Structure 1
Amino acid sequence: MKMERLSQDKIRIFLTFDDLTERGIQKDDMWREIPKVHELFSEMMDQAYMELGFDASGPLAVEVLAMPAQGMMVIVTRGKMNFNSGEDTMEDELEEEVYELELTLEETDQVTYAFNDFEDLLRLAKVMAPMLTDGGTLYAYKNKWILLLDAEAMDEKKLQAVVAVLSEYGEAASVTQAVLEEYGKTVIAENAIGTLCAKFQ
């Protein structure tokens, strides 16, 4: 379980499928209201408090993005407490310490990896070229190179192999294609892996 603070009121947690399996949770369980998922969420909030000083009191918006072969990206945003609701309700809230959750669940068929160094990206391209017929799209976003591949065309075994190689050179990214299109810059629109290999031999 990896976590990082995105802003004062927002954190991102990356759960691998191993993290879920260790806790006896299947990927599909994240969509259901079961005690194990509540326990996992409490554990994540405790760890977020210890590691990042993130206090999960008050209303929380939780976005869960399931990524093929990578795991789950969980983004937690803390809302503002409503202090005008009278003293009694404030005391009740403090006593109960129950999370008020607004949950959004999404699934994506895209595998997105970020690279800090262009050299790492080139090394990856040389290893990946024989594995892929469609080499994805390359974006520049927030001083990183973001490679986006479509997992839909790959079978489970191939997907696992591709993700294993990607993990050696880059790190899983939670940014969506819509955000990359709007705020990033498209560097290579299609077959990025093949194009990188051809241009930088």
Structure 2
Amino acid sequence: MEIERINDNTVKFYISYLDVEERGFSRDEIWFNRDKSEELFWEMMDEVNEEADFVMEGPLWIQVQAMDKGLEVTVTRAQMTKDGQKLDLPDDIEERRKMFGSDDTIAPDFDEFEPVFDEHAIKKLEYTFIFSEIEELVPLARRLEYVPIESAIYHFENKYYLHISFDELLHTEDDVKNYNSIFAEYLQGSPITIHRLEEYGTPIFKEDALSNVLHYFG
């Protein structure tokens, strides 16, 4: 996937259909299955965030253009006014077209220039990490032994993946940041989604993974 940072609030990336298929999606799915298209979008945005340091905050304005061999996606992070009500994007549709260019080919499942994905409504509380051997998790599991974090381990393409999820009722945003910093001390983050792991990976521990690591390997 090719990524181009346009400015502080806009990023453009290109993904080939071959890359789409290698990620476990078909062309029909990304055009006609909204759940699949959103899953692919968030997977790509995780990669964009890692490589281009583009933090997803607030509503996102999305333009998707179909190319001969892939998709070109432009994402702009809408800025809110101090009252939190008004977006700083132009109200006039023609002005919006000037902002994004004149391309009119838009994916059917993405409403043109509408805030389809609102980060305030969809809070990301799930993360995936990649590692080589399960024993690598033992010191991490010991450190977080009494922390209520949902966890699962999958084996996929000769690597292991730890998927964790936080309960927003139990954990504050500061909790999530602090615990994620601990995970980052031991493991490397991965853009792969739990949906792909569940569909194509082999489950090692589908729940209570950290506790099971301590029980069997600690």
- TM-score (ref. length: structure 2): 0.49
Match of 2:185 among 160, 168, 174: 168
Unaligned ranges ≥5, structure 2: 4-14, 21-43, 76-100, 111-115
Q: 1:10 to 1:63 in 2, by over 3 A?
A: farther
> Structure 1 or 2: larger strand share?
1
| Aligned equivalents of 1:159, 1:140: Cα separation in 2 | 25
| Aligned equivalents of 1:122, 1:174: Cα separation in 2 | 23
Q: 1:17 to 1:143 in 2, by over 3 A?
A: closer
Q: Which residue identity lines up with residue 110 of structure 1 in the other structure? A: E
Partner secondary structure for residue 145 of structure 2? helix
| Aligned equivalents of 1:178, 1:191: Cα separation in 2 | 18
Q: Does 1:126 align with 2:126?
A: no
Q: Which residue identity lines up with residue 162 of structure 1 in the other structure? A: Y
Q: List structure 1 segments (4+ residues) > 4 angstroms apart after TM superposition.
A: 6-9, 56-59, 61-64, 96-108
> Structure 1 or 2: larger helix share?
1
Contact 2:135 2:217 in 1 (8 A): no
Aligned length: 142
| Aligned equivalents of 2:172, 2:51: Cα separation in 1 | 18
Q: 1:116 to 1:100 in 2, by over 3 A?
A: farther
| Aligned equivalents of 2:163, 2:135: Cα separation in 1 | 17
Contact 2:126 2:166 in 1 (8 A): yes
Q: CA deviation at 1:184?
A: 0.8
Q: Which residue identity lines up with residue 127 of structure 2 in the other structure? A: V
Q: Does 1:155 align with 2:194?
A: no
Contact 1:135 1:194 in 2 (8 A): no
Match of 1:60 among 55, 71, 77: 71
**CA displacement 1:109-168 (0-9 Å, x = unmatched):** 3221111233322232222223x2244111111112111112234221111011111112
| Aligned equivalents of 2:16, 2:137: Cα separation in 1 | 28
Q: Equivalent residue for 1:27?
A: 57
Q: Equivalent residue for 2:81?
A: none
